[in-house]
Amino acid sequence: MEMTNLRFTMKKVLLLLLLVSSTTFAQSKGDAKTLLSEVSQKVKGYDNIAIDFKYVLENLEENIKQETRGDVKMQGDKYKLNILGITRIFDGSKLYSISPEDEEVTISSESAEDENSITPSKMLSFYEDGFTYEMDIVQKVKGRKIQYVKLVPIDSNSEIKYILLGIDAQTKHIYNLIEIGKNGTKTTLTVNSFKTNEPISKTLFTFDESKYVDYYINTLD
């Protein structure tokens, strides 16, 4: 996969993960708005978040199906994401993309104004302001009642056609998230585990250049 496509995929993964981690069950549009505000404050109160997930990307017209697993740890604006053999570390000011296969580290800057900047607060705000939402179908999945909520981007230029968020009606836990793109691409994210406030290393979001002395360091800024 080319680096540009890899960056786009990882950005989408983070967006979907944060969307999953910040949403709860709602009976109506009004209730959803209120609950989103409450959950936003709750998520912001976590010291850190750790998610393990399964990620599937499909495009039948182009005969593409990509399935992978990954994990991400987040604390404030900082994160460490592992997916597709690449590790991305954002320390709050610099983004480090580490590719063992290519023996290369790409270093770039991210700012609050940068559209590529991924932070929980930004994604929560994006979710509340960027979509209209309504209740959708109910399905029985492995004995569980899954209620889907349909989200449609307000921006007509969005690459997303709509999103279906599947929620276990009994536990109010996220079952899955399905994103349908205008280009026919279907992205499904299933959260295997969601943990908060776990002990983490003080250096988790720190890039240690001494570990990559044989790597090519590509600094974009």
Tokens of 2: 């080319």
pLDDT at 129: 61
Select from 177, 38, 207, 33 the least CA-distant residue to 106. 207
pLDDT at 22: 58
Please state, as a whole number, how many other Cβ atoms lie within 10 Å of the Cβ of residue 146: 18
pLDDT at 75: 87
Which run of H or of E encompasses 122? helix 120-130
Q: What is the pTM of this model?
A: 0.71
CA atoms in the 13 A half-sphere facing the CB of 143: 0
Per-residue pLDDT of the chain (221 residues; tens, 9 = 90+): 444 444 445 566 666 666 655 555 545 555 555 545 555 666 677 888 888 888 898 988 888 898 989 888 888 888 898 988 999 898 988 989 999 999 999 998 865 444 433 343 344 344 556 788 777 788 898 888 777 778 888 888 888 899 887 777 766 666 788 889 999 899 888 878 878 899 999 999 999 999 999 999 999 86
pLDDT at 217: 94
Tokens of 25: 């069950």
What's the rounded Cα separation, in Å, for the pair 56 and 67? Answer: 4
Rg (CA), the chain: 18
The identity of residue 149, as a single letter, is V
Q: Are 107 and 218 in contact (CB under 8 A)?
A: yes
Which run of H or of E encompasses 108? strand 104-109
pLDDT at 102: 94
What's the rounded Cα separation, in Å, for the pair 104 and 124? Answer: 32
Which run of H or of E encompasses 7? helix 3-21
pLDDT at 115: 46
pLDDT at 62: 85
pLDDT at 4: 43
What single DSSP character describes residue 135? E
Residue 119 three-state SS: coil
The identity of residue 84, as a single letter, is L
Tokens of 30: 């009004």
pLDDT at 171: 64
What's the rounded Cα separation, in Å, for the pair 185 and 166? Answer: 18
Residue 47 three-state SS: coil
